[in-house]
Chain A
């Protein structure tokens, strides 16, 4: 029964994390006999009896219940094919997007969503055998109009949201921008002025780069405040 790392130590694949049968394993770790090893590059963490590695890189793996931002890549008779920046592209059935029933034979789905459009959707099901299925009918979901979309490393999304949403709500409050975060590593930003949107993009890039450092929220807050002040009118 021993843990062989310091809190938030950077570990590499194959590095010994802990010994003992009592531990449970979380993401980025695997068990071999009595010993637990890291399988990815990340920050090692132990909380209670759970050992896990918080990833610093890696692709998005769909999980049912996740909100994602997708881009429409194909339109069929009754559904859309949506790229969600993961190894598996998703399907959005017409019945999961349109509020009213439509006759798919008489109607053209491209009137509602066309190739290249962005959509904020929820993953309703995904398993190893089938491709992810999306839903965009609920309140708050749907087509994204205007704004800016930035791609972020999916592994850095939890840091962008912060503990109980502390980081993201701070950004929204300070910049008065509308921000939607997709778990798949896409962020949609819509503000009154382009300069503010641009500031948020730079803030996100910085969070992505410095995700593994501490005291980040305060540094970001300072950055936003000083830039908003230096550009004068941005706050109005």
Chain B
């Protein structure tokens, strides 16, 4: 890595209408999702969205400590968003900062409406979100992965929660902004939805948008969420499908061997 600071790009969208990483305006970064990779956690998920790498672990429902936090009528949801000190260009102080505490709260509030918290009164659910590598849009990727980890823990939910951001870059509305576009662009709008009924659980906006721009960004972010939602569903089914396929291929091998032996 070079010791000099990254040069500030003069243009974020080139003459061909392509962005700094070669994407079209309405194109997502490649997303990779996986669940159930942590053995000790009740549920876990891993997401790669562009250069973002995020690991989420869910513990619970379990007895909550300290006990005074327990709620008599529902489960207490606790989220912890943490950035590893090596996750960004310049070393981040490992102490939890203002931004991390705020993001923890924002992520918790976007997940809460989806979970049947009333099924586990007096208990607690812990969601630990570790950012291993950050490249803009970590809160959205965290929400997407956290809802998968919750599903993997077997926690009853009304729907999965999926999040995606739209932004304003060089005066144009674009989907899923990356780090450079976040820093040097002129607007960022994260959106989290429960896709079944299109209910919005998180909507933030940084920057100045006209009404038309806002509506366009909202529509674009919606489309992005839809695309990621399909990947989310596949990721859950994939975990069980691979075991099923392994078993049936083992079976096939065995029956082949048996028929060979007979010959």
Contacts and interface: CB of A to CB of B under 8 A. Distances in A.
A213 interface: yes
A150 to B, nearest CB: 14
B151 A40 contact: yes
A100 to B, nearest CB: 33
B48 to A, nearest CB: 20
B17 interface: no
B92 interface: no
B237 A40 contact: no
A10 B195 CA distance: 19
Contacts of B237: 10, 12
B236 A40 contact: no
Contacts of A219: 247, 251
Given A28-B156, A88-B122, A212-B244, A14 B60 contact: no
Contacts of B124: 87
A212 B61 CA distance: 23
Interface string B89-126: 00000000000000000000000001010001111100
A215 B63 CA distance: 37
Contacts of B155: 40, 58
B171 interface: no
B240 A13 contact: no
A82 to B, nearest CB: 13
A41 B243 contact: no
B156 A212 contact: no
Contacts of B233: 12, 15
A209 B243 contact: yes
A13 B160 contact: yes
Interface string A186-217: 00000000000000000000000110110100
B243 A213 contact: yes
A209 B195 CA distance: 30
B241 interface: yes
B157 A212 contact: no
A30 B196 CA distance: 14
Contact of A39 (B63, B158, B194): B158
A210 B157 CA distance: 24
B236 A59 contact: no
B11 interface: no
Contact of A14 (B122, B154, B160, B248): B160
A57 interface: yes
B27 interface: no
A7 interface: no
A37 B114 CA distance: 13
Contacts of A88: 63, 122-123
A212 B243 contact: yes
A58 B61 CA distance: 9
B122 A56 contact: no
B247 A210 contact: yes
A111 to B, nearest CB: 28
Interface string B146-161: 0000011111111110
B115 to A, nearest CB: 9
Contacts of B232: 12
Contacts of B122: 87-88
A210 B248 CA distance: 11
Contact of B62 (A30, A87, A212): A87
Contact of B154 (A155, A212, A215): A155
B240 A56 contact: yes
A87 B61 contact: yes
A37 B251 CA distance: 34
B151 A13 contact: yes
B42 interface: yes
Contacts of A213: 243-244, 247-248
Given A41-B154, A57-B43, A88-B122, 13 more contacts: A12-B237, A13-B151, A13-B156, A13-B160, A14-B158, A14-B160, A15-B233, A30-B156, A40-B155, A87-B122, A128-B121, A155-B154, A219-B251
Interface of A: 10, 12-15, 28, 30, 37, 39-41, 55-59, 61, 87-89, 128, 155, 209-210, 212-213, 215, 219
